[in-house]
Amino acid sequence: MSNWDYLPDYPLNSDLVKRLKCALDAKDEERMRDLICTEVTPVDAVIELANDDWMKDPSAQLPPGMLLGLWTLEYKRELTTPLCIAAAHGHAACVRHLLGRGADPDASPGGRGALHEACLGGHTACARLLLQHRADPDLLSAEGLAPLHLCRSAASLGCAQALLEHGASVQRAGGTGLDTPLHVAAQHGLDEHVRLYLGRGAPVNARNSRRETALSAACGAARRPEEQGRCLRLCALLLRGGAAADTRDEDERSALHKACGHASHNLVQLLLRHGADAGALDYGGASPLARALQTAACASQAAPQRTVQALLNHGSPTVWPDAFPKVLKTCASVPAVIEVLFNSYPQLCVSESWKEVIPEEVFQMYKPFYQSLFALARTPRCLQHLCRCTLRRLFGKRCFDLVPLLPLPKPLQNYLLLEPEGVLH
């Protein structure tokens, strides 16, 4: 049922709604509890908290942003119930009081039920009370989302546990994106939720509408540097749980493409160790190496040279030689990336014209490296480098595994694995 089919018991302009909105705006929890527990009747009354249907008031002065919305023909109306308000704000005593008076735990005039609201806010005590009063653990919102799909924060772990204890389906795909609860947890970096869902039999390789698995969704979600450790643990959990490391989404992008786009070298190494293809091409013809190079300058604090190094040590094709000046222009401010990539070629013809693509201030900042690069315009690479390239060609995709087995000193092993030194020889 659409929320336009409901007649609110307390419309937007009613005295009670005005007082309730004042209490909510002031975060006056005691006053809010008094209003919804003692003044609202019946117990499942429909309350209208917002309505932007400007057509009801032709004289209304509309902001420009609202006028842009005319073309969408979408007008929002926020309807709710006392129980939904109490659950959304985590007032367990109020939820208990309303349920004791016979409130319907599944009423959802606004499109979401009280259980959805409790899960969205991470209010475990409220969720448990609702479930004990026979709230449907798989109730779908107007958007087609079950309560488990709204467990999107670390605080909602208890809600997720309660839902599963009461029979919620961990396999249900919901919303327009057809995400499973595992997808949602992966997208939000919730490693404990992932552990919980996998323990309850969540299908680890289920696809959403974009053909993403949970692993792909986790690698594609933008992560701040401080969140990457949790993302790494989450992806390790998924891989141990049987996630395929090299599945592709609707654009043929793999989890490795996405990890490279975030310059998360530890995650890149994890995926490569589990069989991700370093040479995979997406529909646009981009390889994981291309993604790493495109974002290197924006992620210099994340040591993007480690991502490039890992890819090359797992058999990634290098960049076409004629495209190297474009890479130099893009990555000039991250010379370690240039060094690692340059050392993957047995011989690359250096041109003095390349200096034109390097900003002068960048050249001066990294002068020793760039002087060593342009010195090679007049000389062949050293014999040691040519031996390195020969061994790397023989080992191919297994460089990362085989080089450490060679009876060589650690510095020489590092040299074979393209460890940057700061200058070229």
pTM: 0.86
Q: Quick check: is 305 in a domain?
A: yes
Across the range 36-65, mean pLDDT stands at 67
Q: Tell me, what's the pLDDT at 62?
A: 44
Q: Answer for the pair 13, 49: CB distance below 8 angstroms, yes or no.
A: no
How far is 114 from 147, CA to CA, in rounded Å? 9
Q: Tell me, what's the pLDDT at 53?
A: 45
Outline where DSSP puts E strands in 268-392: none
Q: Tell me, what's the pLDDT at 202?
A: 97
How far is 117 from 90, CA to CA, in rounded Å? 9
Poorest-pLDDT segment among 45-59, 139-153, 251-265, 333-347: 45-59
**211: its two tokens:** 């053909």
Look at the chain and report how many structural domains it folds into: 2
Same domain, 279 and 422: yes
Per-residue b or e along 401-415, where b marks 16 or more CB atoms closer than 10 Å to that residue's CB? eebeeeeeeeeeeeb
pLDDT digits (tens, 9 = 90+) for 140-181: 999 999 999 999 999 999 999 999 999 999 999 999 999 999
Confidence of residue 262 (pLDDT cuts 50, 70, 90): confident
pLDDT digits (tens, 9 = 90+) for 268-285: 999 999 999 999 999 999
pLDDT digits (tens, 9 = 90+) for 64-84: 444 444 444 444 568 899 999
Q: Tell me, what's the pLDDT at 301?
A: 83
Q: Answer for the pair 233, 361: CB distance below 8 angstroms, yes or no.
A: no
Q: Quick check: is 267 in a domain?
A: yes
Q: Quick check: is 48 in a domain?
A: yes
Q: Quick check: is 179 in a domain?
A: no
Across the range 38-52, mean pLDDT stands at 85
Question: Does residue 407 register a pLDDT over 90?
Answer: yes
* Cα–Cα distance list, 317 to 121, 302, 405 (Å): 47, 22, 23
Asked whether the CA dihedral 269, 272, 274, 280 is positive or negative, the reply is positive
Same domain, 274 and 413: yes
Residue 34 one-letter amino acid? D
Q: Quick check: is 251 in a domain?
A: no
Question: Does residue 57 register a pLDDT over 70?
Answer: no
* Cα–Cα distance list, 361 to 29, 96, 276, 316 (Å): 57, 66, 38, 32
Confidence of residue 51 (pLDDT cuts 50, 70, 90): low
Phi and psi, residue 164, nearest 5°: -65, -35
Chain-centre distance for alpha carbon 248: 16
Same domain, 271 and 408: yes
Same domain, 266 and 129: no
Phi and psi, residue 394, nearest 5°: -65, -40
* Cα–Cα distance list, 292 to 86, 372, 409 (Å): 47, 24, 30
Q: Which of 33-47, 76-90, 112-126, 262-276 has the largest mean confidence?
A: 112-126
Report which of 56, 84, 113, 77 is spatially closest to residue 4, judged by C-alpha positions: 77
CA atoms lying within 13 Å on the CB side of residue 90:
10
Give me the domain span that covers residue 276: 256-425
**248: its two tokens:** 């592709």
Q: Tell me, what's the pLDDT at 77?
A: 66
Same domain, 266 and 405: yes
Q: Answer for the pair 114, 135: CB distance below 8 angstroms, yes or no.
A: yes
Last residue of a domain, one of 87, 111, 139: 139
Q: Tell me, what's the pLDDT at 7?
A: 80
Please report which helix (H) or strand (E) contains residue 118, including its range: helix 114-121
pLDDT digits (tens, 9 = 90+) for 360-378: 999 999 999 999 999 999 8
Mean residue pLDDT of the chain comes to 90
Q: Quick check: is 241 in a domain?
A: no
Same domain, 279 and 424: yes
Q: Tell me, what's the pLDDT at 319?
A: 94
Q: Tell me, what's the pLDDT at 5?
A: 58
Q: Tell me, what's the pLDDT at 69?
A: 41
Q: Quick check: is 211 in a domain?
A: no
**78: its two tokens:** 């926020």
Report which of 321, 324, 263 is spatially closest to residue 297, judged by C-alpha positions: 263
**95: its two tokens:** 């939820």
Q: Which residues contact 155 (CB under 8 A, 6 or more apart)?
A: 121, 122
Q: Which residues contact 214 (CB under 8 A, 6 or more apart)?
A: 180, 182, 183, 185, 186, 194, 204, 206, 238, 243
pLDDT digits (tens, 9 = 90+) for 208-258: 999 999 999 999 886 676 677 888 999 999 999 999 999 999 999 999 999
Asked whether the CA dihedral 398, 402, 404, 409 is positive or negative, the reply is negative
Q: Quick check: is 239 in a domain?
A: no
What CATH number is associated with residue 99? 1.25.40.20
* Cα–Cα distance list, 186 to 22, 114, 172, 220, 362 (Å): 37, 24, 15, 10, 39
pLDDT digits (tens, 9 = 90+) for 381-404: 999 999 999 999 999 999 999 999
Report which of 127, 67, 122 is spatially closest to residue 96, judged by C-alpha positions: 127
Last residue of a domain, one of 87, 112, 139: 139
DSSP string, 80-92: E-HHHHHHHTT-H
